C-alpha cells in the first residue's frame, strides 16, 4: 500500500472520528502507540547477523546486536456511548526491513473496532471485528513469536468463567494481494487467569486451522485436504515461564500447513533481579522438527543469558551471550555462538525501560555443515565469522 492512500486513510479516520464523537459524547483522546527500532549495523565482512542454518526460533543465539530494523505505528480513538458501551477504532501501519536487505514497504497491519460494556454481567468482555495482530505470544530475548495468527476476522477476549477468562477468535489469513483472505483460516482459543497458587499461574492455548475450496482447488491434483492444530501450556512462577507447545501439520501458525509434520517447542525463560540495578535474563529452548522429509528432521537447542547493570538511572551496560545448535537426524550439525556488549542510554534504570539508545559491538561465528534446504552436507561456505558494531534506538510507547 502506498503512502498517499495511507495518508488519506488516516485523515479520513480522524475526520470520521470527530463526527462520530459528537454522536456518542466521547471524551477519549486520540492516542499514538507503537514499537520501533532503527539504526546503523555495520559488519566487516558482510555476515551481518549470527544464526545457525535451520534454526527455528528466530534469534536463537540472542537478539541483542543481532536484529534488523523496523517498526509498528498505531493510532487509536476511543468513544464512550450514551448507552454505556465503550468503543475504540484502531489503525496500525508496519515497516520492516527484510533479512536480505530489500526494503520492506509500509503495510496496513491493523484496522479494527472493539467494544466493551455490552453485557452488565461481563464488564471485562471485549468484542472485536476487523484486521488485527492476533494471538502472538512473544519471547523477548530471542524475539520469537511462538504462535502467530495475524489476520482479519472477529472474536472476543476476557469472557469471565467464574474467575478464569476465555478468549475465542475466528480469523482468516490475509491474501498477498488485495484485502481479501488467502483461503486459510484459524479458530483460536485461550484460557487464562488460572491461579494454581498465589505465585503460580497457568495459561492454556488450543487452535485449529483449515482451508476453503480456494486453497483446495489450487493444490496439486490428488493432494489431500490438510488441517492443523496446536495445543500449548504456559506456567508462570513469579516471572519465570515454562512453556510447551505441540503443533500438528504446522509450526507457529495453523494458517501454514504441511502434511505429516509434528513440532514440539519447549522453553524456560525469565529474569533474576539481584538488586535494584543488577539483573540476569535467560532463555533455554528445545525445538523438535519431525516431518515426512527425513533429511530435514532436526532438533534445535538454544541458550541465551543476558546480565544487565544500571550504573545510574540513565546509563547501563548489557552483555549477552548465546548459543544455537541444530542437530540433523540423518546428517551433521549446524551451530552458532554470539557475544554482544551494549552500552545504553535509557529512560530509566530497569532493563525494560524505553526509549533507549544502544551502542554495541557483536562478535560471533556460525558453522553450517548442513544445507538447511536439502538436509545434505555442504562442500563449501561452512564457516561464517561476524564482527559488527552498531547504534540503535528502541522504544515502545
The yes-or-no verdict on residue 24 having pLDDT over 60 is: no
Per-residue model confidence as pLDDT tens digits over 303-313: 999 999 999 99
- The Cα 34–Cα 75 span in angstroms is 8
The yes-or-no verdict on residue 7 having pLDDT over 70 is: no
Choice among 55-64, 216-225, 385-394 with the minimum mean pLDDT: 216-225
Residue-wise over 145-174: b if at least 16 C-beta within 10 A, else e? bbbbbbbbbebbbbbeeeeebbbebebbbb
pTM confidence score: 0.88
- Report the percentage of the chain scoring pLDDT > 70: 88
Per-residue model confidence as pLDDT tens digits over 202-249: 999 999 999 998 877 665 544 457 999 999 999 999 989 999 999 999
Write down the pLDDT at residue 105.
76
Q: What angle do CA 41, 44, 50 make, to 5 degrees?
A: 65
Report how far apart, in Å, the C-alpha atoms of 68 and of each of 59, 207, 258, 283, 392 are: 11, 30, 28, 21, 10
- Cell numbers 493510532 correspond to 75
| Collapsed DSSP state (helix, strand, coil) of residue 77 | strand
Q: What are phi and psi of 283, to 5 degrees?
A: -155, 135
The yes-or-no verdict on residue 31 having pLDDT over 70 is: yes
| CB half-sphere exposure, 187, CA atoms < 13 A | 6
Write down the pLDDT at residue 65.
96
Nearest to 95 by CA among 68, 72, 76: 72
C-alpha cell, 307? 546480565
Write down the pLDDT at residue 219.
56
Bridge partners for 194 per DSSP: 202
The residue-averaged pLDDT of 242-258 equals: 97
- The answer to whether the beta carbons of residues 215 and 183 sit under 8 Å apart is yes
- Matching CATH number, 3-396, of 2.40.170.10, 2.30.42.10, 3.40.50.280, 2.40.40.20: 2.40.170.10
Confidence of residue 29 (pLDDT cuts 50, 70, 90): confident
Q: What is the mean pLDDT of the chain?
A: 89
| CB half-sphere exposure, 197, CA atoms < 13 A | 6
Amino acid at each position: 500500500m502506498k503512502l498517499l492512500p495511507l495518508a488519506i486513510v488516516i485523515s479520513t479516520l480522524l475526520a470520521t472520528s470527530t463526527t462520530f464523537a459528537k454522536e456518542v459524547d466521547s471524551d477519549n483522546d486520540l492516542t499514538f502507540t507503537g514499537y520501533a527500532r532503527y539504526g546503523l549495523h555495520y559488519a566487516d565482512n558482510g555476515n551481518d547477523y549470527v544464526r545457525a542454518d535451520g534454526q527455528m526460533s528466530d534469534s536463537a543465539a540472542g537478539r541483542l546486536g543481532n536484529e534488523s530494523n523496523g517498526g509498528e505505528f498505531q493510532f487509536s480513538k476511543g468513544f464512550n456511548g450514551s448507552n454505556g458501551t465503550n468503543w475504540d477504532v484502531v489503525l496500525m501501519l508496519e515497516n520492516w526491513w527484510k533479512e536480505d536487505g530489500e526494503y520492506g514497504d509500509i503495510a496496513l497491519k491493523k484496522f479494527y473496532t472493539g467494544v466493551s460494556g455490552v453485557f452488565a454481567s461481563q464488564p471485562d468482555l471485549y468484542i472485536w471485528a476487523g484486521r488485527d495482530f492476533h494471538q502472538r505470544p512473544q519471547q523477548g530475548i530471542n524475539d520469537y513469536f511462538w504462535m502467530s495468527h495475524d489476520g482479519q476476522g472477529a472474536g472476543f477476549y476476557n469472557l469471565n468463567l467464574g474467575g478464569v477468562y476465555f478468549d475465542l477468535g475466528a480469523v482468516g489469513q490475509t491474501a498477498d494481494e488485495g484485502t481479501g483472505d488467502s483461503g486459510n483460516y484459524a479458530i483460536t482459543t485461550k484460557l487464562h487467569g488460572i491461579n494454581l497458587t498465589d505465585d503460580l499461574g497457568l495459561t492454556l492455548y488450543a487452535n485449529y486451522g483449515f482451508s476453503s475450496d480456494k486453497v483446495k482447488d489450487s493444490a496439486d491434483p490428488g493432494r489431500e485436504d490438510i488441517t492443523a492444530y496446536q495445543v500449548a501450556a504456559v506456567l508462570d512462577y513469579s516471572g519465570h515461564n515454562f512453556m510447551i507447545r505441540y503443533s500438528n501439520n504446522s509450526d507457529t501458525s495453523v494458517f501454514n500447513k504441511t502434511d505429516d509434520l509434528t513440532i514440539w517447542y519447549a522453553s524456560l525463560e525469565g529474569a533474576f533481579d539481584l538488586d535494584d540495578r543488577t539483573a540476569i535474563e535467560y532463555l533455554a529452548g528445545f525445538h523438535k522438527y519431525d516431518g515426512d522429509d527425513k533429511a530435514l528432521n532436526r532438533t534445535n537447542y538454544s541458550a541465551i543469558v543476558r546480565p544487565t547493570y544500571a550504573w545510574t538511572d540513565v546509563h547501563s551496560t548489557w552483555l549477552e551471550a548465546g548459543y544455537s545448535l541444530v542437530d540433523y537426524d540423518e546428517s551433521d550439525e549446524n551451530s552458532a555462538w554470539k557475544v554482544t556488549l551494549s552500552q545504553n542510554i535509557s529512560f530509566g534504570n530497569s532493563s525494560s525501560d524505553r526509549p533507549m539508545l544502544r551502542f554495541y559491538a557483536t562478535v560471533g561465528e556460525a558453522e553450517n555443515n548442513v544445507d538447511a534446504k536439502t538436509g545434505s552436507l555442504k562442500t563449501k561456505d561452512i564457516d561464517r565469522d561476524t564482527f559488527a558494531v552498531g547504534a540503535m534506538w528502541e522504544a515502545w510507547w
